[in-house]
C-alpha cells in the first residue's frame, strides 16, 4: 500500500518463554494488517473485531467514503480508536520494524493527508454527537426522550395559545382607526409609554373614539378637557397620531404586534439573526432601511450627548439619519460583536417583554461564545485562509434557505409557523447551552 521496506515475516521473530521447559516463536505475520499485509502500526480495532493500521483505515475511508470494515464490510459505529494494548505490545515485541514503518509513513504525503482528513472527520463527528449519545450510542436515553417530548408539547401549546389570542391582542394593528372604540383608543394611548397614565382617564371620560381621535389637533390637546400641558408629551402624541393617520391603523409597537403584521418577516429575522447576524443586518440596511434598520440603529446606538427630550423623541420618531458617532459604534460591534447588538436591542425592550427579552439576551451571549469557539477552531487548525470560502458557503446556504422559505411560505400553515417561532425564541437557548458545554469539554480534552 505504501512505499517502504517490506519486512519478511520469516526473517524476524521473537522468542517468548511459554513455560520453563519450552519456547514459542512469535512471528510478525501474526500481527499483520489485512490491508497492507505488513506489521500493524497504530492498530485500530473496529466494532467487528478486525484490526488495521490506522493509516490503512484512513486511506480506505478516503477512497471509499464508507464507514465499514475493509475485510468483512460491517459498518462501524462512532469513530474508531487506536487499540492501545495491542499497540504497546507490538511496539515492545518489534521495535525496529515499527520504527522503520513509521519513517516510511511520514515520508508519504498521501498517507499524511489521509490521516489528517480522517482525524478531522472524527473530531467533527464527535462535536455533532450529543453528549448523552456518547454515553449510549443508540440513543439519548429515557430522560432525553421525555425531555424532547415535553419540549415539543410545550411548543405546540405555546403556538396554540398565541394563535387563539391573535384576534384579541392584535386587533388594533388590523382594524381601521375610524372604527376604534373609546376603550381601544385608551389602549393605544397606554402603549405610548407610562407617562400617558396622566391622560388616559381623561380620554376615556370624554369617550374619544377613533373618529374623534383623527380630528384632534395639538391645540385641542393643550386645552380642556385633555390638559396635556407638557409640550414634549403633546408632540409625542401628535407624532404617533400622524403615523396612525398615514397607515390607517395602529403601527406595531411590540414584538407580538410586529409578528401579527409581518408573520413571515418576523420568523425570517428570528432565524436569520441567530444563524447569520452580519448578513441579516446587511440585508436590513439594503432592503429595509427606513422601517427596520434605522429604528434598530437608533435603539442600540443612541446619541449620548443629547440631553433635550424633544430632540431625542424627534430623532426616534422622525427617523433622522444617524450621527457619525452612532455609525462608528455600530460598525465596530457589527464586525466583532454582532450578537451584542441583538442583546442591547432586547435590553431596551425589557419593560415591554421582560421574560422574552431575557431569553434573547441569554441566547445572544451563548451565540457569542459559540462564534468565538468557531474562530478559535479556525485559528488552532491554521485555517484562517479558508474564511472567505466558509463565508461564501455560508452565504450560499442562507440564500438558498431563504429562497426556499419564500417559495413555500404561502402553503405553510400559520399554526406551524407559530410553533417554529416559539421554538426558536424560547427553546434554542437550551440547545445552545448544550453546544457550549460540549465545546468547553472539547477544549479541556485538547488541553489535557
Residue 3 has pLDDT above 60, yes or no: no
- Per residue in 347-399, pLDDT (tens digit) is 988 888 888 899 999 999 999 999 888 888 778 777 777 778 878 888 888 88
* Per-residue burial over 384-422, b = 16 or more CB atoms within 10 Å of its CB, e = otherwise: eeeeeeeeeeeeeebeeebeeeeeeeeeeeeeebbbbbb
Do 232 and 337 have their domain in common? no
Query: Is there a single domain that holds both residue 293 and residue 437?
Result: yes
Residue 440 lies in a domain: yes
Is the same domain home to 281 and 213? no
The reply to whether 193 and 294 lie within a common domain is no
* Mean pLDDT, all residues of the chain: 79
Using CA of residue 96, residue 99, residue 105, residue 107, what is the dihedral sign? negative
219 lies in the same domain as 298: no
Q: Domain of residue 65: give its range.
A: 13-125
Instruction: Tell me how many domains the chain contains.
Output: 3
Classify residue 164: in a domain, yes or no: no
Q: What are the pLDDT digits (tens) for 247-274?
A: 888 888 778 888 888 888 888 888 888 8
Whether 32 is in a domain gets the answer yes
Inside any domain, residue 158: no
Do both 304 and 184 map to the same domain?
A: no
Residue where a domain stops, chosen among 104, 125, 146: 125
H helix runs in 68-199, sequence order: 84-93, 95-106, 109-128, 131-135, 142-164, 166-169, 182-190
| Nine-digit cell string for 196 | 400617558
Handedness of CA 285, 290, 294, 295 (dihedral sign): negative
For residue 160, tell me if it sits in a domain.
no
Amino acid at each position: 500500500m505504501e512505499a517502504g521496506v517490506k519486512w519478511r515475516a520469516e526473517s524476524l521473530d521473537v522468542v517468548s518463554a511459554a513455560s520453563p521447559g519450552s519456547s514459542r516463536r512469535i512471528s510478525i505475520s501474526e500481527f499483520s494488517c489485512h490491508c497492507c499485509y505488513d506489521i500493524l502500526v497504530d492498530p485500530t480495532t473496529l466494532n467487528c473485531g478486525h484490526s488495521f493500521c490506522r493509516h490503512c483505515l484512513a486511506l480506505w475511508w478516503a477512497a471509499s467514503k464508507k464507514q465499514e470494515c475493509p475485510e468483512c464490510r460491517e459498518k462501524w459505529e462512532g469513530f474508531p480508536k487506536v487499540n492501545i494494548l495491542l499497540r504497546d505490545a507490538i511496539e515492545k515485541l518489534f521495535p525496529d520494524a515499527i520504527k522503520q514503518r513509521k519513517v516510511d509513513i511520514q515520508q508519504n504525503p498521501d498517507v499524511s493527508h489521509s490521516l489528517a482528513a480522517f482525524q478531522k472527520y472524527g473530531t467533527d463527528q464527535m462535536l455533532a454527537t450529543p453528549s448523552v449519545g456518547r454515553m449510549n450510542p443508540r440513543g439519548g436515553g429515557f430522560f432525553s426522550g421525555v425531555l424532547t417530548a415535553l419540549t415539543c408539547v410545550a411548543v405546540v401549546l405555546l403556538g396554540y395559545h398565541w394563535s387563539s389570542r391573535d384576534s384579541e391582542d392584535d386587533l388594533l394593528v388590523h382594524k381601521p382607526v375610524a372604527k376604534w372604540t373609546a376603550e381601544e383608543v385608551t389602549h393605544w394611548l397606554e402603549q405610548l409609554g407610562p407617562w400617558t397614565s396622566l391622560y388616559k382617564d381623561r380620554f376615556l371620560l370624554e369617550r374619544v373614539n377613533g373618529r374623534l381621535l383623527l380630528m384632534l389637533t395639538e391645540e385641542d390637546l393643550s386645552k380642556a378637557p385633555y390638559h396635556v400641558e407638557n409640550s414634549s408629551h403633546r408632540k409625542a402624541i401628535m407624532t404617533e397620531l400622524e403615523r396612525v393617520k398615514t397607515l390607517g391603523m395602529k403601527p406595531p409597537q411590540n414584538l407580538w404586534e410586529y409578528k401579527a403584521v409581518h408573520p413571515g418577516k418576523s420568523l425570517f429575522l428570528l432565524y436569520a439573526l441567530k444563524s447569520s447576524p452580519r448578513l441579516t443586518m446587511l440585508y436590513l440596511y439594503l432592503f429595509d432601511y427606513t422601517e427596520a434598520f434605522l429604528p434598530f440603529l437608533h435603539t442600540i446606538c443612541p446619541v449620548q450627548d443629547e440631553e433635550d427630550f424633544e430632540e431625542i423623541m424627534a430623532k426616534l420618531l422622525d427617523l433622522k439619519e444617524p450621527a457619525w458617532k452612532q455609525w462608528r459604534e455600530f460598525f465596530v460591534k457589527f464586525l466583532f460583536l454582532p450578537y451584542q447588538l441583538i442583546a442591547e436591542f432586547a435590553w431596551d425592550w425589557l419593560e415591554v417583554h421582560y421574560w422574552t427579552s431575557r431569553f434573547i439576551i441569554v441566547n445572544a451571549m451563548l451565540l457569542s461564545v459559540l462564534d468565538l469557539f468557531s474562530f478559535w477552531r479556525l485559528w488552532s487548525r491554521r485555517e484562517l485562509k479558508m474564511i472567505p470560502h466558509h463565508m461564501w458557503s455560508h452565504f450560499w446556504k442562507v440564500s438558498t434557505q431563504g429562497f426556499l422559505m419564500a417559495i413555500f411560505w404561502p402553503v405553510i400553515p400559520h399554526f406551524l409557523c407559530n410553533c417554529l417561532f416559539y421554538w426558536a425564541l424560547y427553546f434554542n437557548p437550551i440547545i445552545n447551552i448544550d453546544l457550549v458545554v460540549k465545546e468547553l469539554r472539547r477544549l479541556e480534552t485538547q488541553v489535557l
